Amino acid sequence: MSEIVYLNGEFMPLENARVPVLDRGFIFGDGVYEVIPVYSRRPFRMPEHLARFRRSHDAIRLDYPLSDPEWTRLVHELIQRHGADDQSIYLQVTRGVAKRDHAFPKDAVPTVFAMSSPLSTPTREAIENGVSTVSAVDYRWQRCDIKSTSLLANCLLRQVAADSGATEVVMFRDGFLTEGSSSNVFTVRNGTILAPPKDHRVLPGITYDVVLELANNNGLPCEVRPVSEQEVRSADEIWVTSSTKEVLAVTTLDGKVVGTGRPGPVFRRIHQLYQEFKRTIMRQAA
Ligand code: PDD
């Protein structure tokens, strides 16, 4: 049976979903998106994801086409129509179809698209052994806080990692840590978790917030402040976080071992807390 997706008010099989070539999402990457993980058929941190989605719309001066209750109903409908218990919901809104002109069209109707895929969380191997990364200069634009579908730089940077068999790229701008191509990056030094502040240089990750909350609630020291490249390169631990990666330990950076070369003790604690937190949410859903 074909996957059912949502496009502009209708549910339909994926292969029937079509967008005109003049859609500004296709022509300019003029759109915003969200990825929401679903555990045991329950969306994780939905209000926070929707709040970020609304901020992305505001930031690119795009009308928020559905209300939060309407998005919530749509997400639940997709979850019901999909077979898997754990899913990844993708929402995308573009500025709609119009004659090609960089300036905003006067009366284009936003294109609204949503789909669900099975959630593929990291393998046991990745959790137990960690993943490899390579570094890169972060040459993206100055509004990385917007979850925009214009992801060419992120794709180019991820491919740098893929070309060398690495899982993710760790980026630096002006000598300071920013993030990965599709994840936030944490480090641990002398037992303290360090995270770059949520400013225009990084996406304000929902998983980033969960990790800091879990750390704070469980007495793990953390500091949110600029983290220098040198601090990252000599860190005891490095982690990447995202809705699909959850929390993963980085065990090599540019072929050089991070810490002991194994996922560290602070990672193991935070990973355990994250899994417990998810289980609590699943129990509430039952
Ligand atoms: N990416 N930074 C970037 C550039 C991202 O694209 C993402 C998420 C994150 C982590 O955000 P969150 O914890 O809210 O998932 C940070 C999603 C998963 C994607 O593009 O598929």
Per-residue tokens: 201: 């240089």
Ligand 1 touching residue 88 (CB < 6 A): no
- Cα–Cα distance measured from residue 239 to residue 214, given in angstroms and rounded to the nearest whole number: 15
Query: Ligand 1 center to residue 204 CA distance, Å?
Result: 8
Q: Give catalytic status of residue 106 as yes or no.
A: no
Q: Which of 81, 72, 64 is nearest to 46 (CA)?
A: 72
* pLDDT tens string 199-234: 999 999 999 999 999 999 999 999 999 999 999 999
Q: Which of 106, 147, 198, 278 is catalytic?
A: 147
Model pLDDT, residue 285: 64
As a whole number of angstroms, the distance between CA 285 and CA 112 comes to 28
pLDDT in the model for residue 37: 97
pLDDT tens by residue, 237-282:
999 999 999 999 999 999 999 999 999 999 999 999 999 999 887 7
Q: What is the pLDDT of residues 83-125, one digit of tens each?
A: 899 999 999 999 999 999 999 999 999 999 999 999 999 999 9
Provide φ and ψ at 119, rounded to 5°: -80, 120
pTM of the full structure: 0.97
Percent with pLDDT over 90 in the chain: 95
> What is the chain's mean pLDDT, rounded?
97
**CB of residue 121 inside a 6 A radius of ligand 1:** no
Distance 153 CA to ligand 1 centre (A): 14
Q: How many CB atoms lie within 10 A of CB 180?
A: 27
